[in-house]
Chain A
Amino acid sequence: IQLTQSPSLLSASVGDRVTLSCKGSQNINNYLAWYQQKLGEAPKLLIYNTNSLQTGIPSRFSGSGSGTDYTLTISSLQPEDVATYFCYQYNNGFTFGSGTKLEIK
Chain B
Amino acid sequence: QQQVKQSPQSLIVQKGGISIINCAYENTAFDYFPWYQQFPGKGPALLIAIRPDVSEKKEGRFTISFNKSAKQFSLHIMDSQPGDSATYFCAASSVGNQFYFGTGTSLTVIP
Q: Do A and B come from one complex?
A: no
